[in-house]
Each structure stands twice: as structure tokens, then as C-alpha cells.
Amino acid sequence: MNDRIPVTYDAERGTFTLRTANTAYQMAVTEYGHLLHLYYGETLPDNDVSYLIPRVIRSHESNPPEAGTDRTYSLCAYPQEFSSNDAGDYRIPSIELVNGDGSYAFVGKYVRHRIYDGKYSLDGMPSLFANDGKDGENVRTLEIDLEDSVTHVGVTLLYGVFFDKDVITRSVIVRNGGDSGIRLQRIMSASIDFTAGDLDMIEFFGHHYVERQTDRKRVTHGISEIGSFRGSSGHFHNPFAILCDPDTTEERGGAYGFALMYSGNFVFDAELDGYGQTRAAMGIHPKQFEFLLEPGDTFTAPEVVMAYSGEGLGKLSRIYHDIFRGNVCPSKFVGQDRPVLINSWEPFRFTFDTQKLLETARISKELGADMFVLDDGWFGDRDSERAGLGDWTVNEKKLPGGINTLADSIHELGMKFGLWFEPEMVNEDSDLYRSHPDWCLRVPGRAPSRSRHQLCLDLSRDDVCDHLIRTVNAILDSGKIDYVKWDYNRYVCDVYSTAYPPSRQGEIYHRYILGLYKILDGIISTHPDILFEGCSGGGGRYDGAMLAYFPQIWCSDNTDAPARLTIQYGTSFAYPVCTMGAHVSVCPNKRTKRTVPLKTRALVAMHGTFGYELDPAVMTKEEREECAEYTQFFREHASLIRTGDYYRLASPYDDRLYTAWQFTSKDGDESLVCAVTTDVSTNDKVSYVKPRGLDKNAFYTVRHIAFGNDKNDKEYTEERLLSGAALMNIGIMLPLSAPQYSSFLLFLSRKKKA
């Protein structure tokens, strides 16, 4: 048996086996045509582990008619690959629909399958792609057709197996093969049944300014659910979840990850039944979702990216980091070190002119910034949040000569130029709204809900999408623009589109997201030389699908360094550091009023794309010189931060005294270790940071990186030579006398053999 074959089918046993470098996934077709889930976990050489299915009588449970008198065959007790509905399985279903005759039943049975090289793609939605053999990738697709023999409604289960990346993707296509319309009310992109029920669930919750906080809890009997019903993946819950063994840590134990490639309403359910089995399901949130499928129509569900690690949560994160860095976004900027930018919002808000902008850009060069970004206020009558949004024409009272003139002037300074947009929203005080009030989402007969004085444009309409593609492209083509910040500053509500009849209003949430992807395709794909950064009031729409368009996403509007420790910690469980927009901001911080040393603010911002969110004109000469040091250091090590393996060394939740993290090059030769003291007390215990991922038999030169006043302290200039074993088992002592929010940066380099 060739263990490097990603997909195999054993016709005699009716088993499908998916293999990656370190995992196996197996399912089987029963004698009655049901597709059962058998196993997902560490690699197995076995072709058939169906003995795991208990053939016992579950009293008071239903048995399908084809099983006859066999009371041991019960769908409610069997682990299914795609669960049925209204057919004796009372757990959360993979699909819910209303058939043409008004019934709700769906029982999908195996019809056929296909196996082919490469990776499937999804119509109108982002998904992982294969790199055509690049870097030794070994990718294969399995498609399995199930059909209900009565209604002729069918589903195609899609599996993409990335052998070398240890990732399996799943999606579903629903097709109406019958002769009357059906109403699809629930479709889960992935459902998986675990015969064991002793699991923890880790979710990432929060709100604006406090995104992706971690919460770990036991999966108890009943349904544990997370999700978003805000029209976007949202600040409050992220479309990523982990199921793991109760004793799983960063370095040990089993962990399963589920990441939904979708930017709209989503749900993740985990149900522990009375028999100690757990069913997990992920997909579009079913609330206010109903899609009409006429005969012959199909519906494509978004993709779920699944991964398993038997070596703890840290290994699981590194699997996701590698796949999201290499197989999501086609932008050339994914493989490049990013520019260090400074944004105009903090100095000016809406009040600026060309002279002020150019002077700020000149001063920002002293910080080492190489890109100047003009934020909100450059278009229409945009002098506040109340007006002008939607009118994407340059306000030449502020910017004589338009974007082209300003962009040329910025480039003459030796800097790149970036621009802010919020295309999905509109003010009522705008020419666009006055011309097309019907282009907004708005329930007939009701006044709309406003957020930040904005309404949501109806992206389910082709005319709206085409208008936005045309107008934004016109601005991008008017001058040398190197960067775009794409913002989205409210949630969707008042969901009703005048372009669709009442019977199809349940489709609008999903059609909005499809329209968004259409717009992004129509703008970003036609401007491959522009770096696009996503933003949604900070990190309110931080998901795998957005990463297909944006190589980086503004992680949070909260730039307070201690607050960012928890935000960036939680984000790192799924998303690589190179995708996290992070900047140095002023102190006292405008959100928290906290004062933190400049060095700490800089090191926390290096846990991301790095840049500045402040007014350089009010900084002292010494502060600007110090920032130039940080910028230079980041540039020197940007590739290591962008591509290296990432380790969470100390949690901001569990380790009271400090938070620490590490970047290690793929070859293990270099490593950066960062730590921030988060609490202090008199005569406290000694803290030791223990790096990971080193060669225990190698020796490493350990050097404290000194900046500014640090250079006068011997402790920050002394080098040590320590073995990988000593570093990983004993660690490096942090100074006892360090004040709160001090930070430390260590550079480890492998000593070459003589």
C-alpha cells in the first residue's frame, strides 16, 4: 500500500480513506447505502475500522425500513458522514429542506463517487487552491454523490486532501433533481461524528475593540453553539473552532480544527448525545436562511478547512498558518515582506489638506515608514461620519488635482501611497443615496436602523455590485496607488431587497456575501500590483475567505499593546501573524488611557505587519529616532516573522506575570523570542521563558536585542551560548526588577559546526 496516496477506495469493503502526512480519515458505505463516518485522527495503516461502529439495540430508537427486523441498525446511534433529516436521526442535521409536497424528509444514500488529482473549486466563493505540485504538494479531490430516492434531491460531498499540509477541506453541493421546487433551510458544509464524547471546545469570542478572546469549555450534553447572525463573521464570534481532548495543551494531546471559508452568518454546533457520542457541524447560520431551488438548480455551500494535530494546539495552529499562507490568497504580496505604513487618521481625522498630508509624510520618513495612507475624508462632502459616504469622487477642495497629484507628490518623497475605502456602505446625505434609495437594504414600511449614520448597500443586486466595481476601479486607475484599506464599519440588518420577490427574501444574507466576493474579484483581480488590507471596525470580519482577497487584515481598532496581547494571541490559533495588521500608537492610549513603553508597543506591533497609527509631528526627536530603530529591526527580520513557525510560549490568560511568543525559521537556524511583563509584585517568583522548536543537540547564541536606553544596560548586551536542550527545558530568566509592561526581545542563532 502506498501511504502517500491521499484518497483510496476499497470496493470490497465499501470504505473511503483520506490520508495526509500525519492523519487518516475514513468512512464506509453500509449494506443499505448510508455513508457512515468511521475515523479521523492520527495515521492508520488499516483499510477498514468499521468495527468501531457498535451494533447494539438502542431501545426506543427508530430503525430505517430497509433494515427490516434488525433493531441494531439505527441512524440516531450511528456516526454519519452527512446526516439525514426527519428519518429517525434526532441529532442536529446536515440538511433541512421543505420538499415540493411540503414534507421535510431527506435520506441521502450513496450513488457514485469520483477521485481526481488537484483540488475542486467552488462557484462564486473562495476556497483553498492547490499549487500545481509546487513545494512537493500532493493534492487530490474526492466527490461522493448521495441522493434521496423518493424526492431525487441529491448532494455532492466534496473533499480536498492536502497530503503534505495535513489538511482536509469539505464542502457540499445540493441539487434539486426532482420535478418541483424545494426550499433549502439549512446546509452544513461539514459534519463529523465522534464516537467518543469527552471533548473540550475552544471558541474565539469578543466585541469591537476586544476581538478573538479565547474560551475553553467542556462539551456537555445537549448542543453547544457559537455563531454570528450579523451579516458578517463578526467581532462577537469567529468562524473557527477547536475540539480537543480535555488534557490537550500547547504541546501535547489531540486537537481538531474547523475553519469556515465564509464571511457571512455562520454556525458551529457540537452536540453530545445520551450515548456519549459527539456530532460537530459547521456551515451557514440557518436563521433567516431559505434558498429556493427550482428543478435543476444547485446550491453550493462554503468550504470548511479541517485539520488534526496529535501534538497539541501549537502544532494545530502551525498547520493552519502554513495552509493560509500558501493556499488561500493568489496575491503576489503573500510572498513578500510588507511595507511599513503610517495612517493619516490619528493626526487629522476628516480635517486635512494636501500641504498637511505631505508634511506628515515627510516627518514619518524619520520613523522609517515607507508608505503613507490617506484614510477617510478624501471624497464627496465627507467632513464627518454623517455625509458623503458612497460618493467615490475626489473632494478637490481638500485635494486640488485629485488623487493622482497627491500620489505623485508622495512618490516624489520616496514613499508609497495608500487610500481608504468603505464601498459597502452609504450615508443618506449623499448623492448616491439621493439617486438610488432603493439600492439600500431596507424593510418596506419601516425606518431603517442606522449605525455610524450609515446604511448597508444591497450587494445582492448586480447593478449595485457593477456600480461599485466601476467607481472604485476608476479611482484606483486615476493615480499610482500602492495600497488600499477596505473598511466595513457596521453590521447588516433590515435585510430586504427590492430586487427579489417576497418568496426569496431568505436568500438575501447569502446573496449579499456572494455579491461582496464578486466585487472583490472585480476590483482586486484587476489590480494585482495593489496591496489590499481588509478591515471591519478592526477585526470584525477576520476569516479564511477574506484572506483569499486580503493578504493582511487590520486585527483590531484597539491598538493598546496589553490589550493586543490577548487579541493577537487568540487570532494566532488559526491565522498567521503575517495577516495581522498591527501598529504602534500613542500613549496614553486613546481607548484604554493606559501608558506603555514605546519599546513594548513596537514589539507587540512586530507581532503583525508593523506600522504606525499616530501623529509623528508631536513626537520628540528621540522618539522618532527610537522608532527608526524598531522599523529597521523589523525590516531585517520581516521574512522570519512572516514565514517562520510560530509558538505561543506563555498565555496572557494563564501566565499572570508575562506573555511570550516565538518565531523560528523553517530550517531552525534562527529564532526570535518576545516577552512582555503583564503583572508585577514585590519579591515575586523568577520567570523563565522556554523556547520551543529548537534542535536539542545544537548550541545557540542567545543575544538580547537592545534599543534606545537599553544599550546602556549590560544585561541587554551580554551574549550566551546555550544548548537547545537547556533553552527548551530550563529556559531564559526574565529580570525580576522589570516594571509592568516591560518587554524583552531575544535573538537565537544556531552555532555552526566548525
Look at residues 235, 322, 232, 222 and name the one whose alpha carbon lies nearest to residue 274: 222
- Residue 59 has which C-alpha cell? 431501545
Residue 700 burial class via C-beta count within 10 angstroms: exposed 0-12, middle 13-18, buried 19 and up? buried
Q: Which of 543, 557, 560, 670 is catalytic?
A: 543
Q: Around Cβ 468, how many Cβ atoms within 10 Å?
A: 24
With beta carbons less than 8 A apart as the criterion, state whether 242 and 249 touch.
no
Question: Contact at 8 Å (CB) between 190 and 282?
Answer: yes
> In 3D, which of 629, 649, 625 has the Cα closest to residue 637?
629
Range 500-517 burial, b when 16+ CB lie within 10 A, else e = beeeebbbbbbbbbbbbb
3-state helix, strand, coil in the chain (%, to 5): 20, 30, 45
Q: Concatenate the DSSP letters of all residues of 564-579 into one string.
A: HHHHHHHHTTTS-GGG
Write the CA distances from 106 to 83, 84, 87, 157, 176, integer angstroms.
9, 6, 7, 15, 12
Q: What's at 716, amino acid-wise?
A: Y
Partnered with residue 153 across adjacent β-strands are 176
What is 270-284 written as a DSSP string? EEE-TTS-EEEEEEE
Q: Cβ(21)–Cβ(166) under 8 Å?
A: yes
**101 given a catalytic annotation:** no
754: number of Cβ within 10 Å: 3
Helix (H) or strand (E) holding 545: helix 544-547
All three cell numbers of 659: 506573555
C-alpha cell of residue 240: 473557527
SS3 for 83-129, per residue? CCECCCCCCCCCEEEECCCCCCCECCEEEEEEEEECCCCCCCCCCCC
Question: Rounded to whole angstroms, how far apart are CA atoms 657 and 649?
Answer: 13
How many other C-beta atoms can be found within 10 angstroms of the C-beta atom of residue 374?
25
For 12-70, the three-class secondary structure string (H helix, E strand, C coil) is: CCCEEEEECCCEEEEEEECCCCCEEEEEEEECCCCCCCHHHCCCCCCCCCCCCHHHCCC
Residue carrying the nine cell digits 505604513 = 341
SS3 category, 485: strand
User: Count of CB atoms within 10 A of residue 303's CB?
Assistant: 27
Task: Please give the grid coordinates belonging to residue 24.
Answer: 487518516
User: How many angstroms separate the CA atoms of 684 and 542, rounded?
Assistant: 38
Active site residue 533: no
Q: Compute φ and ψ for 567, nearest 5 degrees.
A: -65, -50
Residue 579: HSE in the Cβ half-sphere, 13 Å Cα cutoff: 32
Catalytic residue among 143, 366, 385, 623: 623
Q: Which residue has the cell 499549487?
A: 131
Amino acid code (one letter) for 536: S
Instruction: State how far the Cα of 138 lies from the Cα of 134, in Å rounded to an integer.
Output: 9
Q: Identity (one letter) of the amino acid at 290?
A: E
Q: What's the CA gap between 83 and 349, in Å, rounded? A: 52
Catalytic positions: 543, 623
